[in-house]
Structure 1
Amino acid sequence: MFSSNPVTARARATYHAAADCYDLPALSFWGRFGRATVARLGLKDGQRVLDVCCGSGASAVPAAEAVGAGGRVLAVDLALGLVELGKAKAASRGLAQLEFRVGDFTELPAEAGSFDAVVCVFGIFFLPDMPAAVRALWRWVRPGGQLALTTWGPRVFEPANAIFWEAVREVRPELHKDFNPWDRIATPAAVTAMMREGGVEEVRAEAEAGTHVLAAPQDWWSIVMGSGYRGTIEMLTEAERQLVEARVRAEVVRRKVEAIETNVVYARAVKR
């Protein structure tokens, strides 16, 4: 059960807290990459899709639109706050075929081969044993179905990422990190090797370089508050938090940061 692992439990708490900023306009990249992942699948009317680590529906909503009223999308995430956002989106769009559920996807009572497509966008790297997680996801893919994983590439969110961690180090040195969980699979070769270890033989993985424009300097702080950085923010006192925020905002302006890197790796496999 992955949800009992400290790393996964921390991710659940982090993204539950981040729900208040997760869907702000500054974080529109969630939707962009969710839609791009689904577009690569070529989903058809009536198909069944499982979306794990679904967030607030960046990939689940376009998947539900693609499979139509006769299909079904089950979207699962550990973070209650994000699932509540997703439920509101599904209701507002009239997507009765889209069900959001809070939980550990490894505990789903679904039978093997239950889904035409299984999707995980920006989530597989939070699992302590990624090959084991892939093996679980692959089991749910029917013959002829697809598994799609999307993860971050190298230098994601730079140069603003470095600015954030420099500010944290100045205030709370013990919280500074040089390594992110997605760094383990930041290249097509690394993702392919991980998926093959999980029992998926024929993997097509491709890197896509990208940038995300910051419409205003404060956008970077919105991204901090609505993403994985929120976990570090939650460990600060209110005074420390204000100090980090002030330093980050000032440095973004001083360095004239107007865009950040959003490099990704898309991986897809078809079960023969």
Structure 2
Amino acid sequence: MEAQLEQIREQQKETWNKFSSGWRKWDDFTMEWLRPMGTEIINSLKLKPTDVVLDVAAGTGEPGLTIATIVTDGKVIITDLAEGMLDVARDNAAKKGVTNCEFVRCDVCELPFDDETFDAISCRFGFMFFPDMLLAAKEMARVLKPGGRIAAAVWGAPNKNFWIMATMSVINQHMQLPAPPQGAPGMFRCAAPGFLADLFAQAGLKNITKKEVNGKLDSGTTTNYWSFMNDVAAPVVAALSKADDNTKEKIRNSVFEVLTQAQSHGSISLDYGTIIISGEKG
């Protein structure tokens, strides 16, 4: 791997290890919110009870742990780059009594598995952060059996994701943030129409399908939302770390004003939009 890509990988590993405690704190809340995308991934994979499945960039364990309850005579290999996230996934598996799973810390661009090992592969909100997304797709295709399926979820366009832009748009109004390098990892890196489907095609996958899953993040109070953003949203924390206390307070107050306008029946309810792409190995 090129030195620049290795640097991106190490930065990603450091970031997700740093935020693993926040993801542990908010795990029940976050996993319930992201469940519809996991469900769509699972539906796209057309799983059989005997399947051996790879869950890439699984974070705290989903959708891999749910998949394990479906492939009762098979197993799931749950992987992530950050050991801190896998620690949470292991604990979640123990809590749920899921035993037909294994945990492997690895880089998707260098998967430590033989060719044609898996019947299906899932990846929920990982592609945007891979150093080399095409290499990742090719590696996933390499370890997939012929006829097996890959399904992945990514975030849609910023204008469909007010749950994060409610904060980021305010931050951009108060701070002069440098533009990220072209192609740098980020939430909306795969949002362009056809982007991920094209990657899948370049990786040799066939019968590629696309589905959008849209909904609402119900975060309760403004204070709850703000705490959530500061515990799990890396772009928010990175930006605020560059602001002085006075600017931070102004941003917080402005975000609260924006959120109040989005209140519905006493709860903060914010739009999200996602894209699920699936493909089959010929």
Normalised to the residue count of structure 2, the TM-score between the two structures is 0.82
The correspondence of residues 97-136 of structure 1 with structure 2, limited to 5 A, is 97-136=100-139
Q: Look up the match of 2:233.
A: 227
Q: Look up the match of 1:95.
A: 98
Q: Secondary structure at the match of 2:220?
A: coil
Deviations for 1:102-132, whole angstroms, at most 9, x for unmatched residues? 2213333311100000111111121232122
Contact 1:142/1:271 (CA < 8 Å) preserved in 2? yes
Contact 1:155/1:261 (CA < 8 Å) preserved in 2? no
Per the TM alignment, residue 244 of structure 1 is displaced from its structure 2 partner at its CA by 6.6
Q: Secondary structure at the match of 1:20?
A: helix
Q: Which amino acid aligns with 2:112?
A: P
Q: Secondary structure at the match of 2:135?
A: helix
Q: Secondary structure at the match of 1:106?
A: helix
Distance 1:79 1:226 in 2: 14
Q: Which amino acid aligns with 2:54?
A: L
Instruction: Please list every run of 5 or more consecutive structure 2 residues that lacks an aligned counterpart in the other structure.
Output: none
Distance 1:151 1:83 in 2: 20
Normalised to the residue count of structure 1, the TM-score between the two structures is 0.85
Per the TM alignment, residue 33 of structure 1 is displaced from its structure 2 partner at its CA by 2.0
Q: Look up the match of 1:51.
A: 55
Q: Which of these residues, 185, 191, 200, is aligned with residue 186 of structure 1?
A: 191
Q: Look up the match of 2:206.
A: 201
Contact 1:163/1:251 (CA < 8 Å) preserved in 2? no
Is residue 261 of structure 1 aligned with residue 271 of structure 2? yes
Instruction: Please list every run of 5 or more consecutive structure 1 residues that lacks an aligned counterpart in the other structure.
Output: none
Distance 1:265 1:248 in 2: 30
Name whichever of 52-61 and 123-132 sits farther off.
123-132
Per the TM alignment, residue 250 of structure 1 is displaced from its structure 2 partner at its CA by 2.6
Q: Secondary structure at the match of 2:113?
A: coil
The change in CA–CA distance for 1:169 and 1:103 in structure 2 (over 3 A counts) is same
RMSD: 3.0
The change in CA–CA distance for 1:6 and 1:255 in structure 2 (over 3 A counts) is farther
Is residue 271 of structure 1 aligned with residue 281 of structure 2? yes
Contact 1:116/1:145 (CA < 8 Å) preserved in 2? yes
Deviations for 1:160-210, whole angstroms, at most 9, x for unmatched residues? 433322443466523577997343422552221122122223311122332
Deviations for 1:208-258, whole angstroms, at most 9, x for unmatched residues? 332222322233224422133355158447847953763355334443343
Identity over aligned pairs, percent:
21
Name whichever of 175-184 and 113-122 sits farther off.
175-184
Distance 2:207 2:59 in 1: 27
Name whichever of 117-126 and 223-232 sits farther off.
223-232
Is residue 15 of structure 1 aligned with residue 20 of structure 2? no
Name whichever of 130-139 and 158-167 sits farther off.
158-167
Name whichever of 113-122 and 157-166 sits farther off.
157-166
Distance 2:220 2:108 in 1: 36
Q: Look up the match of 1:173.
A: 176
Contact 2:200/2:279 (CA < 8 Å) preserved in 1? no
Q: Secondary structure at the match of 1:67?
A: coil
Distance 2:36 2:190 in 1: 20
Contact 1:168/1:244 (CA < 8 Å) preserved in 2? no
Q: Look up the match of 2:41.
A: 37
Distance 1:126 1:158 in 2: 17
